[in-house]
Amino acid sequence: MDASALKTSAKGVVVENVNLSYGATHVLKDINLEIHPGEFFAFLGPSGCGKTTLLRLIAGFNIAQTGRVLVGGEDIGALPPWKRDVGMVFQSYALWPHMSVAQNVAFGLEERKVARAEIERRVATALEVVGLSHLAQRRPSQLSGGQQQRVALARTIVVEPKVLLLDEPLSNLDARMRVEVRRELRDLQQRLGITTIFVTHDQEEANTICDRIAVMKDGVIQQVGTPMELYEHPANLFVAGFLGTANILEGKIKREGEAASFELTDGTRVTLQNAATAAEGARLVFRPQYAAIGLRGFATGGVVALPGTIVHREFLGATVRYAVKLGAQEALVDAPFRSGGELLEIGADVDVAIAPERLQFLAG
Amino acid sequence: MTLAATTTALKPPLSFGRAALALLCFALLLIFLIVPVATVIYVAFKDPQSGALTLVNFADFFRNDLFMRSLTNSIWVSAMSVVLATLFAMPLAYITMRFEFRGAILIQTLGVLPLIMPPFAGAVAMQLLFGRNGSVNLLLGDWFDINIPFMEGLNGVIFLQAIHYFPFILLNVSASLANIDRSMEEAAQNLGSSGFRLFRRIVFPLAMPGYIAGASLVFIKVFDDLATPLLLNVKEMLAPQAYLRITSVGIADPMGYVICVVLIAVSLGSMYAATFATRGRDYATTQRGGGGLARRPMKGRDTIVAWAVILFILALVLAPQIGLALLSFATVWSFSPLPDGYTFAHYVRVFGDSWGYISNTLLYSTLAGVIAVIVGSLIAYLVQRSDVRGRMWLDYIAMSALAVPGVVIGIGYLRTFYNVPLPNGQALATFWFTIVIALAIRRLPYALRASTASLQQISPQLEEAAENLGANKRRVARRILLPLMSGGMLAGFITAFATASVELSATMMLVQSSADAPLAYGLYVFMQSPAGRGPGAALGVIAVLIVGACTFVSHLLASREGAGAAAH
């Protein structure tokens, strides 16, 4: 059956000036967000950053001290959870053990006083969409983790909610299932066209399935953008470090008239145009795969060369990762591995060469 | 020499000592549990004249109108007590476990208080508060000109039993609710459910296993109880009939034994039904990454309604304690809402004349507690840590004492030990130490479960490490297990002590002279006459204080244990 049988008109979500505290703990600070209709959006951040609190706020399980939440242009702040019509899939799935799979899925429709025949039709459709029609009469405890997750999803989408909220839906699955299910989730979301918010601490999950991501830390949204934007142009050190691996080098900005340069702690100077506009206390950031490595003096003009010594080497398959000591600091460089190619030895004096446009100055 | 030592070490470790311990435990259970109960059952099936096995006694039982009435009355009273206890327990459990409610801990504590008072102790106080001419009906008569028969006949038994035993439901349902992950309810709310529908469709079904466990316990306890109906002068119930048969017709009359068999059968039947009903329904849903227990905030009007409900229930269930306290200080109290005057005379009298009741209670309960804990931990040790063949049977037999009503133990001891003379010519059945053993056997299942639980928490690796460093089994038990189990054993002792100090069902049959009688029996004797009410109430207050203090101490121990475990 076609998933479009459950298709709803997509609604946007707007969060305005939201602040939320538990006692003295300020959990969400001045949150402003606009999630477009039909978008697959992620709240990404380490545990304790407030991402789940924000999701539960949209579902109505948390109450903010200030601010508004709008779904489809309508302020839902005053509505209790059972009147919000935003479907949530819980991290633990929260399948009721005293009901069969079909009864679990039918629950929301029964609460909405849908006619019996209509309930049966829609439950059948929802179970078919997630591929579990044959397990309708089972108890949740008789299902595997992946199947339970799909029941939880069916139970939520069957009521055709305005927005779909997913709270770390993949965290209770094993690694192989996770890759499979995240693809299914993305496909299903595309077929339903439903606005979806996905909470995760795993940047790979967010990158692979979401249209846009809000990176959060300590209750503050650090940056909002597509996965590529966040990776290529992180707004600060936290975003740079949280998405992928980044070298972050300390140093001081030296201004000499018009020109400015960045002096690393070992004394190496990097002269750059954008150093002049960098904030005080900013650090030099680049990704390991954007640097080249070779014996001292290999680099030719137009690149920034940082002299150092190899202290560690890891073979990762497609690449070889070198750890290079730059004075008291260390940087990682990924060099592509070619069959028959020679590896640099530990202890070798090398240059780390980076194109100027790949270097960024970021503050914390 | 070296060779010899090696050869010995290769043999399996000598477990003669533990086999002997197992035999000793088995002998105890045989003499003081199996034989008395088997005797009761045997006599029930024996023709009193010819001595042949027969069903004629049961036929007589089922043909007798009085016994049939008693049976239906017992079932009715037990069932209605469960219903009433549910009405008391459910709102308290749900409100305190599911809402941010100031005073939730206080309410839970007060809610368990009735359990520590023997139900019969409050019987007379409840007559004075809720009886035909009790405080409540006097006031209702003045205000609305109505009289509600709270305490008439079976109603009184139902009312008192529900008040006494509802904490079993409260505790079990609260524990069940604590194990339900909050996402279970949030998922339902997210899908549009709220209020009573949410409770009916999600919360109650998930708390069902706890509810059934609590409800079946209430049913069995009420069905088996002897003292409460007797004190309310309700004789047409099964347990009182058994008692009256034995005490008035004599221990040769088979009907008392037949009633005992019926009591055991109903106990076993209810236990089986409860197990069957909860099979495969372990709904504990607290999960990793789950939110655990959610307490929702309560809004204005709801808070007022909730407080009104809670205060009403607490006033009802604490009425026996309050009434008893009033009565113990009252000069005269009849036909008036409150006593005419107050005095300490009853306490003076109790501590003067009736000190024997109190000292007997302290002696019996201490001994019974010690015996129950020692035997309980021995059996737990043998079952968990030895390879003695058939050790599981020790556990099964000791636990089966749960299904044996107190009155059955009492009658069984009377019948079995009446003809066993002590060296001084006294019958074993009338020796005071027999009461102690009866109390200990009745407490054994609880002590055994507590010991088993604390043993299971001790990793066998701790013992293996000691053995590896050269300690033999006995040294390991003494130096590793005993210190680690001591907290659990002490808590087990205190619980056994507290419950033994207010037990009456079994002791009622065995007390032969008031010199040997414990406090609960003295209370019963006092309450028989209007003049004895004051001193009886004073004794009751003392019993409540003893049990209350014990409960407090065991809570302290438990929290210290908990804190200790958390620190590791």
CATH number for the domain that contains residue B259: 1.10.3720.10
Q: How far is B472 from chain A (nearest CA, A)?
A: 45
- Nearest CB to A92; choose among B181, B197, B283: B181
- What tokens appear for A44 in the block? 């990404």
Q: What is the total count of domains within chain B?
A: 1
Across the interface, which of B189, B192, B205 has its CB nearest the CB of A98? Answer: B205
> What backbone phi and psi angles, to 5 degrees, belong to A82?
-75, -5
Smallest Cα–Cα separation from A210: which of A218, A201, A198, A221? A198
- Nearest-CA distance from B275 to chain A in Å? 17
A91 contacts in chain B (CB < 8 Å): 183, 289-290
Residue A65 in contact with partner chain B when CB distance is under 8 A: no
Q: How would residue A22 be classed by pLDDT, with cut points 50, 70 and 90?
A: confident
| Amino acid present at B536 | G
Kindly indicate the confidence band of residue A137, based on its pLDDT and cuts at 50, 70 and 90: very high
DSSP assignment of B436-491, as one string? HHHHHHHHHHHHHHHHHHHHHTS-HHHHHHHHHTT--HHHHIIIIIHHHHHHHHHH
Choose from A84, A88, A92 for mutation: most chain B CBs within 10 A.
A92
For chain A, what is the domain count?
2
Chain B residues in contact with A90 (beta carbon < 8 A): 183, 186-187
Q: Are A36 and A109 found together in one domain?
A: yes
Residue B129: its pLDDT value, please? 79
Range of the domain at B146: 55-343
Domain enclosing residue A298, as ranges: 247-362
pLDDT at A104: 92
The minimum CA-CA distance between B283 and chain A, rounded to whole Å, is 6
What is the distance in angstroms between the Cα of A63 and the nearest Cα belonging to chain B? Answer: 11
Nearest by CB to B181, which of A59, A94, A155?
A: A94
Would B367 be classed as within a structural domain? no
Cβ-Cβ contacts under 8 Å, B279 against chain A: none
Report the residue of chain A nearest B282, measured CA to CA.
Answer: A97
Q: Which residues contact B273 (CB under 8 A, 6 or more apart)?
A: B216
Spatial strand order of the sheet with A86-89 comes to: A86-89, A163-167, A195-200, A40-44, A212-217, A220-225
Residue B539 lies in a domain: no
Contact A98 B281 (CB under 8 A): yes
Instruction: Tell me how many residue pairs between chain A and chain B have CB atoms under 8 A apart.
Output: 83
**Which residue among A217, A242, A267 closes a domain?**
A242
Mean pLDDT, to the nearest integer, of A97-117? 91
Shortest distance between the Cα of A97 and any Cα of chain B, in A, equals 6
User: A188 and A279, same structural domain?
Assistant: no
Nearest CB to A98; choose among B190, B192, B206: B206
Same domain, A288 and A213: no
Residue of A nearest to B292 (CA): A92
Q: Are residues A199 and A295 in the same domain?
A: no
Cβ contact (<8 Å) for B186 and A97? no
Query: Which domain-ending residue is among A207, A225, A242?
Result: A242
Please list every residue in chain A whose beta carbon sits closer than 8 Å to the beta carbon of residue B289: 91-92, 168, 171-172
The whole-number pLDDT of residue B176 equals 81
- With the C-alpha atoms ordered A144, A149, A152, A156, is the resulting torsion angle positive or negative? negative
* pLDDT at A251 (0 to 100): 85
CB-CB neighbors (< 8 A) of A81 in chain B: 186, 189-190, 194
**Contact call for B206 and A171, based on CB within 8 A:** no
The answer to whether residues B214 and B172 touch, using CB atoms and an 8 Å cutoff, is yes
Q: How far is B196 from chain A (nearest CA, A)?
A: 12
B184, B190, B287 ranked by CB distance to A59: nearest? B190
Among the partner-chain residues B188, B194, B287, the one whose CB lies closest to the CB of A80 is B194
CATH of residue A80? 3.40.50.300
The Cα A333–Cα A350 span in angstroms is: 11
Angstroms from A83 CA to nearest CA on chain B: 6
Within this chain, do residues A315 and A237 fall inside the same structural domain, yes or no? no
Q: Decide if B137 is inside a domain.
A: yes
Q: How many other β-carbons are positioned within 10 Å of the β-carbon of residue A207?
A: 19
- CB-CB: which of A82, A155, A159 is closest to B194? A82
Q: Are A169 and A142 in contact (CB under 8 A)?
A: no
8 Å CB contact of B192 and A112: yes
State whether A156 and B190 contact (CB < 8 Å). yes
A37, A92: one domain: yes
A171 touches chain B (CB under 8 A): yes
Tell me whether residue B451 is in a domain. no
The answer to whether the beta carbons of residues A153 and A95 sit under 8 Å apart is no
- Determine if residue B331 is left, alpha or beta; phi over 0 gives left, psi from -120 to 50 gives alpha, anything else beta: alpha
Residue B284 CB burial class (10 angstroms; 0-12, 13-18, ≥19): middle
Q: Is residue B24 part of a domain?
A: no
Mean pLDDT, rounded, of chain A: 88
CATH number at residue A274: 2.40.50.100
Mutate to test the interface with B, among A96, A163, A168 (most CBs of B within 10 A): A96
A330 to chain B nearest CA, in Å? 36
**Are A264 and A186 members of one domain?**
no
In order of A304, A320, A321, A328, B256, the CA distances from A344 in angstroms are 20, 10, 11, 21, 97
Closest Cα in chain B to A104: B188
- Chain B CA closest to residue A62: B296
Q: Strands A25-35 and A40-44: what pairing?
A: unpaired
**Range picked from A215-224, A242-251, B298-307 for highest mean pLDDT:** A215-224
Residues of B with CB under 8 A from a CB of A: 181, 183-184, 186-194, 197, 201-202, 205-206, 208, 281, 283, 285, 287-290
Give the pLDDT of residue A71.
Answer: 93
CB–CB contact A159 B283 (8 Å): no
Are the beta carbons of A108 and B181 separated by less than 8 Å? no
Is residue A74 domain-shared with residue A147, that is, in the same domain? yes
Q: Are residues A189 and A219 in the same domain?
A: yes
Beta-bridged to residue A25, according to DSSP, are A22
CB B201 within 8 A of CB B305: no
Terminal CA-CA length for chain A: 50
Specify the pLDDT at position B422: 79
| pLDDT score for B530 | 75
pLDDT for res A228: 93
Per-residue CA distances from B443 to B116, B496, B564 (Å): 15, 6, 27
Q: Are residues A218 and A266 in the same domain?
A: no
Distance from CA of B22 to the nearest CA of A (A): 41
In a domain, B160, yes or no: yes
Q: Give the one of B190, B205, B289 whose C-beta lies nearest to A81's C-beta.
A: B190
Task: Supply angle C-alpha B258, B264, B268, rounded to 5.
Answer: 145
Residues of chain A contacting residue B290, judged by C-beta atoms under 8 Å apart: 91-92
Which of B190, B197, B282, B283 has the highest number of chain A CBs within 10 A, making it the mutation to test binding with A? B190
Residues A221 and A273 in one domain: no
Q: Are the beta carbons of B183 and A90 separated by less than 8 Å?
A: yes
pLDDT exceeds 50 at position A195: yes
For residue B272, is it within any domain?
yes
A213 forms beta bridges with A42, A225
Same domain assignment for residues A295 and A201: no
Query: How far does the CA of residue A120 sit from the closest CA of chain B (Å)?
Result: 17
List, run by run, the mean pLDDT of 10-residue segments along chain B (568 residues): 41 66 91 91 84 81 87 93 92 82 75 73 78 74 76 85 88 82 88 87 87 89 87 86 84 86 90 81 53 63 83 84 82 70 75 80 90 92 84 89 87 86 79 89 88 82 77 81 82 80 81 81 80 80 79 70 46
CB–CB contact A81 B186 (8 Å): yes
Q: For B208, which residue in chain A has the nearest alpha carbon? A: A98
pTM value is: 0.76
A98 lies within 8 A of chain B by CB? yes
Chain-chain contact of B193 with A86 (C-beta, under 8 angstroms)? no
Non-local CB neighbours of A216 within 8 Å, separated by 6+ positions: A43, A44, A45, A49, A50, A51, A54, A222
Chain B residues in contact with A172 (beta carbon < 8 A): 288-289
Last residue of a domain, one of A222, A242, A262: A242
Picking from A59, A87, A96, the nearest residue to B184 by CB comes out as: A96
Cβ–Cβ gap B201/A107 under 8 Å: yes
Does the residue B330 lie in any domain? yes
